[in-house]
Amino acid sequence: MPVDLVRAPISPAAKLECVSYAPFRGDQSPQMATLVVPPGQIADDLAQLATISKCVRTYAVDNGLDRVPELASKVGLKVMLGVWISGNRAKNAQQIATAVALADQYPDVISAVVVGNEVLLRGEMTPGDLVAAIGALKAQVRVPVTYADVWEFWLRYREVVRAVDFITIHILPFWEDFPVKASRAAAHVDAIRKRMVAAFPDKEIFIGETGWPSAGRMREGALPSRTNQARVVAEILDLAAHENFRVNLIEAYDQPWKRRWEGTVGGYWGLFDADHRSLKYPAGIAVSNFPFWRWQMGAGLAYCLLVFTVAWRSLRRRPWSPRPSAWLAVAVSATVGGALVGLTIEKMAVESLGVGGWLHWGALGAAAVAAPLFAAQALMRGRPLPAFVDLIGPAPGRRRSLRAYALGATLLVTTLIAAETALGFVFDPRYRDFPFAALSMAVVPLFCLMWLNRPHDGERPMAESVFAGLLALSAVYIGFNEGGANWQSLWTCALYLLLALTLWRARAAQSRG
C-alpha cells in the first residue's frame, strides 16, 4: 500500500523558477525534420505550465518551437530560448537567425538565449567554433546569452566562460560517471554548484538541468522511481530557495521519443506524464511507487489461487498422492507469481516501446504467467521438464502431448529472452531494463520442476549446456560490471544463474519420456 515518504515537490504557493519544455507527444520527435508541432498543442501545454512555473526553457527554434515566445506571452511565461547548434553550419546559421528575430520581437518574454546544448559533450563542435557561434548571436541581441553543458566541460574549456554572460551547467546525479543515490542527490548538486562558484566567482552559475527519472533501470545505487523523483526534486528546490540560486528542472513532460536513444529511463524525467498531461505529484496526495497497488494485490491473490486450483485439478482421477515437496514447489511458484504478476504487467506496460518492444516483453510476460500454471500441472502428474529436443528435434523423437509442448515452449521462450537480455547487458548495458519480475515468475517454477522431476539417466543436451554456460558467464560479468549496490542487477543475475542450473540439469532422456 502507498506510503507518504515524501511530500509533493511542487508547492501550490510557489512557482518553479524554470522548467525544460519540449512539446512532443506520442510518436512526435525532434528527429522528424518535417514535423511542425501544432500551435494549439503548444498553447495547451504552456497554459498548464504557467500554473506551476514562471519560465520555460526550450532547446531549438524549429519543429514549431519558434511559436513558443508568442504563446508564452499570452499566459505570462518567460522563455529561455534554446538554439540547437551542431556540426551543420548551414542549420546553425538558420537557428541563430531565427533566435535573433525572436529576441528582437519578444524582448519582454525572452529572458535569455541558450546557444547550444551539450555540443561539446557530443563532440560536434570545437570550443573555438562554439565561441564564434556564441559571439555571432550575442552581437545581435540585447538579452543575456549563455551556453549549456555538463558541469565538467566548463572547467575543461574556460575560453567558453569568457564568451557568455552567465554559466549554465547541467548536474544530473543519476547520469554521473559514478551515479549518485537519490538520498545524496541534492547534496551532490549543492557541492558541484559551490565548486563552480569557487572556480568562476565573476559569473552567475545557473543550473540549467537537474532532476531525477521516475522509471527505468538502476545505475549502481541510483534507482529511478516515483518517490525518488519527488524526493530529489523537492530537496533541490528547498536548497535553491535556502541558498538563493536559480535552477531549471528537467523536465516538464515525459518524452517518449527519448526512449529510443536512452531506454526507458530517458522517457520518464517529466513532472507531468506524457499521455494524459497529468501532474505526477499533486499537492496533498501520498507519493507512492505503486499507485495501483490495490489492483495489483487483487490480481496477485487471484493468480495465486489459480495456480493452486490448476495443481488440485491435475490430481483428479490420479491413483497416487504427490510428494509434500511437490506441493511445496507449487506453493513457492504460486507465491512468487502472485507477488510479482502485478509488477510484471506494470513493467511490461512501462518498458515496451513500439511493436517490437511489445512483442519482446509480451512474449516474456506470457511465459511468466504460463510457467507456474504448467509447472504446477507437471509437478502434480510427476512429469519432467521437457528438453528443447522435444520441440525442435527430429520428428520421431518428439513428444506428442500438448501439455509437454506448452511447457517446453515456455522454457524455450524464457531461455531465449533471458539469453538475449544477458548478452545485451554484457555488450550494450547502459539503457537496458532488468527483467527481474517476469524472469522470477518464469524461472522459479521451471527450476522447481527440474529439481524435483528430473530423469536420472540420459545425456546432457548440447543446446541446454550452451545456454547454461552463456547465462552463467554473463551473470558473473554483469554482477561485477553493474556493482553490488544495484539490486535490480543482482536479482536478475541470480535468476540467470538459476536458469543456467535448470538447463544444466536437463537430460536428453526426457525427449523419449
pTM above 0.85, yes or no: yes
Categorize the per-residue pLDDT at 293 as very low, low, confident or very high, splitting at 50, 70 and 90. Answer: confident
Q: Which residue has the higher pLDDT, 254 or 14?
A: 254
pLDDT over threshold 80, residue 79: yes
**For the segment 387-411, what is each residue's pLDDT rounded down to a tens digit?**
888 777 665 555 567 888 899 999 9
Asked whether the CA dihedral 377, 381, 384, 390 is positive or negative, the reply is: negative
| 230 located within any domain | yes
| 161 located within any domain | yes
| 359 located within any domain | yes
Which cell numbers in the block locate residue 434? 532488468
pLDDT at residue 476, as a whole number: 98
123: domain CATH number is 3.20.20.80
SS (H, E, C) 245-276: CCEEECCCECCHHHHHHHHHHHCCCCCECCCC
Residue 258 sits in the same domain as residue 329: no
Residue 261 sits in the same domain as residue 308: no
Residue 257 sits in the same domain as residue 297: no
Phi then psi for 341, rounded to 5 degrees? -65, -40
Average pLDDT over every residue of 435-455 = 94
Average pLDDT over every residue of 48-69 = 97
Q: Which amino acid is at 508?
A: A
Average pLDDT over every residue of 103-124 = 96
Residue 372 sits in the same domain as residue 504: yes
pLDDT at residue 394, as a whole number: 65
Q: Provide the Cα torsion 291, 293, 299, 300; round to 10°.
A: 140
Question: Which residues neighbour 340 within 8 Å (Cβ) at sequence distance 6 or greater?
Answer: 300, 368, 437, 438, 440, 441
**For the segment 115-150, what is each residue's pLDDT rounded down to a tens digit?**
999 999 999 999 999 999 999 999 999 999 999 999
Among 213, 247, 266, give the residue marking a domain's end. Answer: 266
| 280 located within any domain | no
pLDDT at residue 398, as a whole number: 55
pLDDT over threshold 60, residue 59: yes
Average pLDDT over every residue of 38-63 = 97
Residue 249 sits in the same domain as residue 378: no
pLDDT at residue 391, as a whole number: 76
Among 266, 285, 319, give the residue marking a domain's end. Answer: 266
DSSP state, residue 353: -
| 8 located within any domain | no
| 362 located within any domain | yes
DSSP state, residue 461: P
Residue 328 sits in the same domain as residue 368: yes
Residue 41 sits in the same domain as residue 109: yes
Residue 75 sits in the same domain as residue 134: yes
pLDDT over threshold 70, residue 510: no
Average pLDDT over every residue of 243-250 = 96
Residue 261 sits in the same domain as residue 300: no
CA 291 – CA 245 distance, rounded (Å): 33
Q: What angle do CA 469, 394, 419 make, to 5 degrees?
A: 25
Residue 238 sits in the same domain as residue 338: no
CA 409 – CA 390 distance, rounded (Å): 9
| 9 located within any domain | no
pLDDT at residue 120, as a whole number: 96
C-alpha closest to that of 440 among 343, 363, 299: 343
| 277 located within any domain | no
Among 225, 251, 266, give the residue marking a domain's end. Answer: 266
C-alpha closest to that of 218 among 478, 419, 20, 4: 478
Categorize the per-residue pLDDT at 6 as very low, low, confident or very high, splitting at 50, 70 and 90. Answer: low
Exposed, middle or buried by CB within 10 Å (0-12, 13-18, 19+), for 428? exposed
pLDDT over threshold 80, residue 85: yes
Residue 302 sits in the same domain as residue 262: no
Domain that holds residue 244: 18-266
**For the segment 316-352, what is each residue's pLDDT rounded down to a tens digit?**
766 667 788 999 999 999 999 999 999 999 999 999 9
Q: Which residue has the higher pLDDT, 354 or 47?
A: 47
pLDDT at residue 374, as a whole number: 96
CA 3 – CA 226 distance, rounded (Å): 12
pLDDT at residue 393, as a whole number: 65
The answer to whether 248 and 271 have CB atoms below 8 angstroms apart is no
pLDDT at residue 397, as a whole number: 53
pLDDT at residue 318, as a whole number: 67
CA neighbours closer than 13 Å in the CB half-sphere of residue 350: 26
Task: Look at the chain and report how many structural domains it folds into.
Answer: 2
Residue 217 sits in the same domain as residue 167: yes
